[in-house]
Every structure is written in structure tokens, then in C-alpha cells.
Chains A and B, each alone.
Chain A
Amino acid sequence: MSDPHTDDHPHSHAPSDNPHGPHPYQADLEDSPHTHYQVMAEAVGELLIEKGVVTADELRAMIELIDSKSPAEGCRVIARAWVDPEFKARVLTNVNDAAEELGIDPGTIPIRAVENTDDVHNVIVCTLCSCYPRLLIGLPPDWYKSRAYRSRVVREPRTVLKEFGTTLADNLEIRVHDSTADLRYLVIPKRPAHTESMGESELAALVTRDSMIGVTTL
């Protein structure tokens, strides 16, 4: 059997031919606040740098890029779409291109926008793993990656949304979009009522991450 991951032992991820045996680091970890995986992440990064696969600068710059991503960029896209119907049409055609118009780099994986209306409410999930428009709205919240959310939101979205404090009218159609490695989604929430006098940046401040996932409304 070549797959080292199929038994139930919690430390089976260690390479089976590891010279330190099946529990190579566990004893040491009892004295250390670091987990096996933290040490592994540090080690893999250092090895890749030593081998010249990546440079320390590249790794640092990439971590900074990840840190720089937040829901704010997605909020800007939504606010512009609310105030500019032509922009919204372009968002609905191609989120990536539309985001670039605003100077945002949303990455190369296609993102599809799904718009909430008076008749339809959209919610996104990745049942198989955790696909998420992370280059546009940052890293996903823990619950998005949880077994409970991934399992249930496709089966009983209304109940799950209630757990987020979102109660939708019975006649509203709910569409759940299951993301993949090759296609991610972004919900365009409905613009709140009585916001006609607001400017784009004020509107952007109303948009929340959860509303772009579709578990809440504004």
C-alpha cells in the first residue's frame, strides 16, 4: 500500500520510512508549545529556501500579500456594482476583469458573481474542501471550512442561514453554489433600502464578508 494516510492513527502522516520511527517528534512536543505541523511548515519553508526553490524574499512577500487581502476589496467591487449598472453587468460577466478595473488583483481562478434579487438569494459553499474567492475577499472564516457548514448548507440552507440569524421569506428561492478549484463564487448582496444618498465608499462600508458569502443579508 503506497498511501500512508489510510489508517486511523493520528500520527500516520509521518512518512512511513522516517528514520526516527512512527512517532518521531511527539515526545519532544510535550515540552514545546509548537505542534508537529508548525515545525513541519517551518522546516519545509527553510528547505525550499536552502535548495533555491524559493527565496526568503519571495516567501516573505507572499505572506505579506496574503495579509493584505481582506473583504475590503470585495466590498469595493460590490459598492461600485450598486452604483454603476454597467459595471455590475461587467461583474456579472467576469468578476476578475471587473475587479482589475478597480486596481484589484483577484487572481487567475475565475470568480462568478451571483446576484441577490427580490426573488433569489444566493449562498456559496465548497462541499469538497474550501474553495473561496480568497484573492478577492481574504482567507475564509473557519466555519466555511467546517464539516457542519459544508455538509448541511446544500441540504437545508434555510436552517443553516437561521443559525446565522438570517431568516428568509418562504417564497424566496435559495440557490446554493458549490465552488470548485477552478470556479469560485461571489454573492452580490442586495443594496440596503434608504441608501440612495450614500456615496460609493459609504456603501462599501456597509458590505460584509458574510453577505458576500450569502449567509447574511444587509
Chain B
Amino acid sequence: MVLRRHHDMGGLEAGAVEQGEHEYGPWEKRTDAIMRLVSDKKRKIMSVDELRRGIEEIGPNVYDEMSYYERWITSITNNLLEKGVISVDELGRKMAQIEQRWRQQGATKP
């Protein structure tokens, strides 16, 4: 029996394909844009393979609960932390600031 990791799902049993779609929100496009910029020829801070590694490292249950771009931003953030491009401290402070700002703005952003 071949052991597979949870992202390697080709050929497994699964339910019907749900064909509903959603429009990508601004934060999802922002996440995609961040990835393209940090992986472009000018910067080469992280690669698509590193993005995938970060996604594949997300635990099985969490992986299934997360949306697509939630996995992406998680992997991008972890890669940037690992590489020291941003620090945990900076990230924590920035996220707290943004939450406060959005709350004050009446929170209509993404």
C-alpha cells in the first residue's frame, strides 16, 4: 500500500462535484498578486514549489476546512516568516492594527 499525503487525492473516492462558483474577493486577488510578486524574476523570494510545500504541510483536517486562498496566504506567510522577510512580531502587530482600523471604519473592506 502506497502511503499518500492528504493533498495527493487523485483516484480516491469522493462525492459529486459541486459546481457552484464564487467571484474572487479583493483579498483573494491580493493574495494571488502577492504570490506572483514575491516569486517574480525581480524578487525570487519564494518559488511556486515553496508555496506548494507550505500548502502540503497544512494538517489534513485543517486543509479541508480552509478555502483555497486561505491555504495560499498561510503558506506565503509561513514562507516569509521562515525566510526572515517578515517577523512574527511585526505580523502580529500589523494584524492587530488592521483589525482595529477595519473595526473603526465600520468594517466594509474585503
Binding site for B on A (CB under 8 A): 3-10, 12-13, 15, 17-20, 24-25, 28-29, 31-35, 37-48, 51, 53-54, 58-59, 62-63, 65-67, 125, 127-130, 139, 141-143, 145-152, 154-155, 160, 163-164, 178, 181
Contacts and interface: CB of A to CB of B under 8 A. Distances in A.
A7 B59 contact: yes
A54 B59 CA distance: 30
A12 B33 CA distance: 25
Contacts of A139: 24, 32
Contacts of A178: 10
Most chain A beta carbons < 10 A, residue from B24, B57, B66, B98: B98
Interface of B: 7-22, 24-34, 36-38, 43, 45, 48-49, 52, 55, 57-62, 64-70, 73-74, 76-78, 80-81, 85-86, 88-92, 94-96, 98-99, 102-103, 107, 109-110
B15 A142 contact: no
B27 to A, nearest CB: 4
B17 to A, nearest CB: 5
Contact of B109 (A4, A19, A34, A129): A34
Most chain A beta carbons < 10 A, residue from B11, B22, B45: B11
A58 B37 contact: yes
